């Protein structure tokens, strides 16, 4: 047994001691005891707790891997997340003012990915324990929209009927404004008998839509989401911001960042989270590599009233970035890349004369790397804002404004 003192938290929320030794669910300053195995104490005993330590509010916290920081006060978690972003920027030699963070409320997460496994009697649906294939049921989850929690028995029923004891179903469930939207992957191969059973089950379940490995099995009505003045029905399992309040916070930040721009390029546009909210005042070029997402965006725009023109373009911005000369006609660019960032496109932006850039990111490290490229190209990072829609987790979103 070793007795150690936690000196800091790592980017995944684990406490770190000298060595280093990683200790989950601990806080800086705490003295802990436990068996060190491969540089980790899996089951620490807290000898001296931090003043920031609180009792985890969720009954599932001990066994569920969905949350990592319920044992810390909210202010500590917010400061820690902002500190991660500050450190990432500082590592690239950048400082910037921080806007007040947005923190999504409890029970606001509108989409979640569950795992389902058939058992001898019934089924288990829930989240995995951390770094484990053990499933934990989460009937009292504090993060999920109540409609998702209420649907867990429905997912258990489907898993018991059509799941496998040799593998797991991945169950992506989203609360749409027309009802629940369920996309299942990892299941049995779809044949006519399975399609018939699923169609019958979907009809009895009250779902807005059921998709099985990308094939829409049943749709009682389009599972739409209102974005600005448009209604958008994303393809099954498509990316959406996890909470509606966070989506609104990011949209407001992006709107501030582009100012009065009349011609805007929205890069990595997805289903139109930003394009459709900005089209009230600006003409938009929406660029995205996923054709189904672009079709959803375009359909939403065409059916809406009072929006300026949105032109869509399917393009792989990693391999085929928009070049500086083609960016010259835009007053502003919105860019919201995946976790890997967008180094190639950022180099082209850095060499452009676009007056304003609104950047959105889910990865402080790649954001800071890309921000350095823009700064080296003559841009100023005017402000950043942390958007915490993944409560109690180490993840964060951010928005930022750059001006030439």
Q: First CA to last CA across the chain, in angstroms? A: 56
DSSP codes, 96-142: --BPPPEEPPTT-B-EEEEEEEE-SSSEEEEEEPTTSS-EE--TT-S
Q: Packing angle between helix 364-376 and helix 74-91, nearest 10 degrees? A: 40
Q: Is the peptide bond before 192 cis (omega within 30 degrees of 0)?
A: no
Tell me how far apart the alpha carbons of residues 269 and 374 are, in angstroms, rounded to a whole number: 20
191-223 burial, b for 16+ CB within 10 Å, e for fewer? eeeeeeebeebbeebebbbbbbbeeebbbeebb
Which residues are registered as beta bridge partners of 175? 180
Contact status, residue 123 vs residue 160, Cβ threshold 8 Å: yes
- For residue 362, indicate whether it is catalytic: yes
Give the active site residue among 67, 141, 255, 362: 362
Return all residues near 134 (Cβ < 8 A) that are at least 6 apart.
Answer: 63, 128
Q: Packing angle between helix 364-376 and helix 343-350, nearest 10 degrees? A: 30
**DSSP secondary structure letter of residue 321:** P
The catalytic residues are 362
């Amino acid at each position: 047994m070793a007795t150690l003192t936690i000196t800091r938290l790592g980017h995944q929320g684990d406490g770190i001691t000298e060595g280093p030794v990683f200790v989950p669910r601990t806080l800086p300053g705490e003295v802990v005891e436990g068996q060190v195995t491969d540089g980790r104490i899996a089951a620490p005993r807290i000898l001296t707790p931090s003043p920031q330590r609180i009792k985890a509010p969720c009954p599932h916290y001990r066994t569920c891997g969905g949350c990592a920081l319920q044992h810390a006060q909210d202010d500590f978690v917010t400061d820690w997340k902002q500190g991660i972003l500050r450190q990432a920027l500082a590592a690239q030699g950048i400082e910037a003012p921080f806007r007040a963070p947005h923190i999504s409320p409890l029970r606001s997460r509108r989409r979640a990915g569950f795992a389902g496994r058939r058992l001898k009697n019934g089924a288990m649906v829930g989240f995995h324990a951390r770094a484990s294939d053990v499933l934990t049921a989460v009937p009292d989850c504090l993060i999920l929209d109540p409609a998702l929690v209420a649907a867990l028995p429905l997912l258990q029923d489907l898993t018991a009927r059509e799941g496998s004891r040799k593998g797991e179903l991945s169950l992506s469930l989203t609360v749409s404004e027309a009802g629940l939207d369920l996309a299942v992957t990892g299941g049995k191969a779809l044949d006519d008998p399975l399609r018939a059973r699923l169609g019958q089950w979907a009809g009895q379940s009250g779902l807005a839509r059921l998709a099985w490995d990308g094939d829409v099995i049943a749709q009682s009505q389009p599972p739409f989401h209102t974005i600005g003045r448009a209604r958008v029905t994303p393809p099954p399992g498509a990316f959406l911001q996890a909470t509606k309040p966070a989506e609104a916070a990011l949209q407001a930040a992006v709107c501030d960042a582009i100012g009065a721009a009349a011609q805007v390029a929205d890069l990595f546009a997805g289903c139109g989270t930003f394009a459709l909210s900005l089209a009230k005042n600006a003409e938009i070029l929406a660029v995205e590599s996923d054709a189904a997402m672009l079709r959803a965006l375009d359909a939403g725009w065409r059916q809406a009233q009072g929006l300026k023109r949105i032109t869509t373009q399917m393009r792989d911005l990693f391999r085929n970035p928009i070049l500086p000369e083609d960016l010259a006609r835009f007053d502003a660019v919105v860019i919201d890349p995946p976790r890997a960032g967008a180094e190639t496109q950022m180099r082209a932006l850095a060499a452009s004369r676009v007056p304003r850039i609104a950047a959105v990111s889910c990865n402080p490290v790649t954001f800071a790397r890309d921000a350095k490229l823009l700064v080296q190209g003559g841009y100023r990072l005017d402000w950043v804002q942390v958007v915490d829609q993944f409560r109690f987790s180490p993840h964060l979103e951010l928005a930022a404004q750059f001006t030439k």
